[in-house]
Amino acid sequence: MKKLTLIAFAILGSLCGHSQNIEYPKNQVSAFYCNGKSLYSGYDKFLGNREPADGYKGDGTEQWDYTNFSGTYNIEYLHNFIQPWMSLGVQIGYEENCSKHWIYRYRSIDEKSSDHWTEKDRMPYILCVMQFDLLRSNWMGIYTKAGEGVRFVFTDKKYESGKTDNNFKYGFCFVGATGIEVGPKFVRFFGELGIGAQGFASIGIRGRF
């Protein structure tokens, strides 16, 4: 086992050393998608139906929530102008949550009133991103990236009575991910694992020119 580990490190070291001599095109454009929630999808949202464990509460309320998460859609542009293994650029993304809410207020065990509303959150974001190439070859690459930016949240509420309510807020967001790409230098498929605005696991395609 120790011998295999040494061989693996020797191969990786050889590839990393060889990768310094491989030139990539300086511009990189990527499009990718993450199916699921991002870190900022909303801590007050619930995936699927939720029913209070104790049913009828002492305060006379019962709440059910259902939320559908769209996942995140991302476009990224990077330019290599500092070092061959380091690129800087911008990432633009979008996420949307559609939720339904019911609140039941009990006057007694048999008598209750209810409120029902739908809520839609539209959440675009933009980040400044820096990427570091850990391994570069003609058919594969391994890299890590990090970025910071701002996220906007546009919330539209529509109540059962017909009343509507709109809200807007914004705040800081970040992204950190490690990825692997395969294919020829000019067009590659890739996958990323990370945290932050773009979500946990992403897949996409990128082109270099």
| Helices and strands per DSSP (H, E), number in the chain | 1, 8
pLDDT of the chain along its 209 residues, tens only? Answer: 556 555 654 555 555 544 556 778 899 999 999 986 676 665 333 333 334 434 444 455 666 667 778 889 999 999 988 778 899 999 999 999 888 877 776 665 566 666 778 888 899 999 999 999 998 888 999 999 999 999 999 989 888 777 888 889 888 999 999 999 999 989 999 999 998 888 889 999 999 99
The reported pTM is 0.75
Task: Name the β-bridge partners of 113.
Answer: 105
List the domain boundaries for the chain.
2-40+71-97+120-208
C-alpha 17/C-alpha 134 separation (Å) is 10
Give the CATH architecture of domain 2-40+71-97+120-208. Answer: Beta Barrel (2.40)
Phi, psi of 53 (to 5 degrees): -65, -30
Phi, psi of 182 (to 5 degrees): -135, 145
- Residue 15 half-sphere exposure toward CB, CA atoms < 13 A: 16
